[in-house]
Amino acid sequence: MTQGPDRSLFVASWLGWVLAVCALSFMGVATLAPQIAADTQLPREAVGWFAGLVWGAGLAASLVTGELVRRWGPWPVTRLCLAACALGALAMASGEAMLFVLAALLIGVGQGLEAPPASQLLSAHVRVDRRPFYFSLKQTGVQIGAVTASLLMPLLALAFGWRAALLAIAFVLLLTLMALGRVSRAAPQRRASSPSASAGSQAWWALLREQRDIRRLAFAACAFGATQVCLNTFIVTWLIADRELSLTSAGLFAAAAQAAGLLGRPLWGWLASQTGHSIRVLQALGALMSLCAITLGVLGSSLNDIALCVCVVLFGLSASGWNGVFLSEVAERCTAVPIAAATAAAMVPLYLGLIAGPLLFAAISQVAHFASGFIALAIAAALGTLWLPAARQ
């Protein structure tokens, strides 16, 4: 890496903001879904369709993002990510039911385009030993976007209507898109020796087949991602159904898990940077999320409120805190392929976990019980931990 001013915090902060506003476009629609469904005469189940379409489009976008970064560069692809999310928010704000699918697909494409160019940019500007922290700092954008959507969107919708709330999201995205032009000039990607262009155009499955460590990281991310999305998706429903809590009380537990995830991402990134043992941090997080899942599955209905809160917080710390360390480790394991291409390939199994996890959890819970769903998550997290590659010497 060439010498120059340290742009680590500058680049990480901007990329974290990009991730936050992209997450805001997804979570904003999810938060406003009841009003959107009522006004557009869509069924209430449409929020489930929306999430499925978003993650499916994100998966499809991740298949080509490595090649896009190779051809256009990371900053232009990051701006494309913002443009797709903005167009999706505008399509949804139109109130036309026929544009519902288009809006979900555009927002999903934006989500899928985000990580590979961000990983390449961070790797170009951050020292190797500090990458886990700055990658994790960037990943806090997900929680920031989710919390902002949960708190702000209902207030905007109440005051001005849900269409105006979505237009506000689109405005913020487009403002960020315009600002990013100056940011990219202030922090251009630093050029270094890199793998050949042909290596960056490999199909994702060929890349994972040849890169054993990245393949193992990707399979672990599939299991961890499924665990994370199931915790966030089903915790409120489980608390109401099994613990007979009110919606407000259940929401407080869910908020505690989200807040723990917001704290956990920079915390685990800092720990991995300080110790230099990212894989061991990921192994500990996998073991912790497996332990929390089995605790909820076996004892969840009988735990007192304090013990339940501790378990949920630890679950949020682990299941929502691993992402930045994972992405930094993918960047570290790249030896023969560009970082953007490796990240894009590793995201494919992760998206598969995000799509399949809730479907399998719902199916298991419907046939057996929520407890069985959490036990299945514990098994998935344990397998993900075992799939991780050996620690680097």
Per-residue pLDDT tens for 298-317?
Answer: 998 888 989 999 999 999 99
Q: Is the pLDDT of residue 281 over 90?
A: yes
4: left (phi over 0), alpha (psi -120 to 50) or beta: left
Q: Is the pLDDT of residue 197 over 50?
A: no
Q: What is the mean pLDDT of residues 328-346?
A: 88
Q: Is the pLDDT of residue 82 over 60?
A: yes
Kindly give, in sequence order, each residue whose CB lies less than 8 Å from that of residue 77, ignoring residues fewer than 6 positions away. 65, 68, 69, 113, 116, 117
Question: Mutual orientation of helices 278-299 and 212-242 as an angle, nearest 10°?
Answer: 30
In this prediction, residue 179 carries a pLDDT of 92
Confidence of residue 175 (pLDDT cuts 50, 70, 90): very high
**Gap between the Cα atoms of 359 and 69, Å rounded:** 32
In three-state secondary structure terms, 43 is coil
In the numeric block, the tokens 């959107």 are attached to 36
Q: What is the mean pLDDT of residues 208-236?
A: 91
In the numeric block, the tokens 């544009």 are attached to 99
**Lowest-confidence pick of 209-218, 317-326, 364-373:** 364-373
Domains and CATH numbers, the chain: 8-186 (1.20.1250.20), 204-387 (1.20.1250.20)
In this prediction, residue 287 carries a pLDDT of 97
In this prediction, residue 192 carries a pLDDT of 44
Averaged pLDDT score across all residues of the chain: 88
**Gap between the Cα atoms of 157 and 169, Å rounded:** 12
Q: What is the mean pLDDT of residues 106-123?
A: 93
Amino acid occupying residue 292: C
Cβ atoms of 260 and 314 within 8 Å: the answer is: yes
Q: What is the mean pLDDT of residues 133-142?
A: 93
Chain-centre distance of CA 89, in angstroms?
19
In this prediction, residue 148 carries a pLDDT of 86
Q: What is the mean pLDDT of residues 179-196?
A: 66
Return the higher-pLDDT residue of 99 and 272: 272
Q: How many CA atoms lie within 13 A of 25 on its CB side?
A: 35
Q: Is the pLDDT of residue 215 over 60?
A: yes
CA dihedral 362, 145, 107, 220 (to 10 degrees): -50
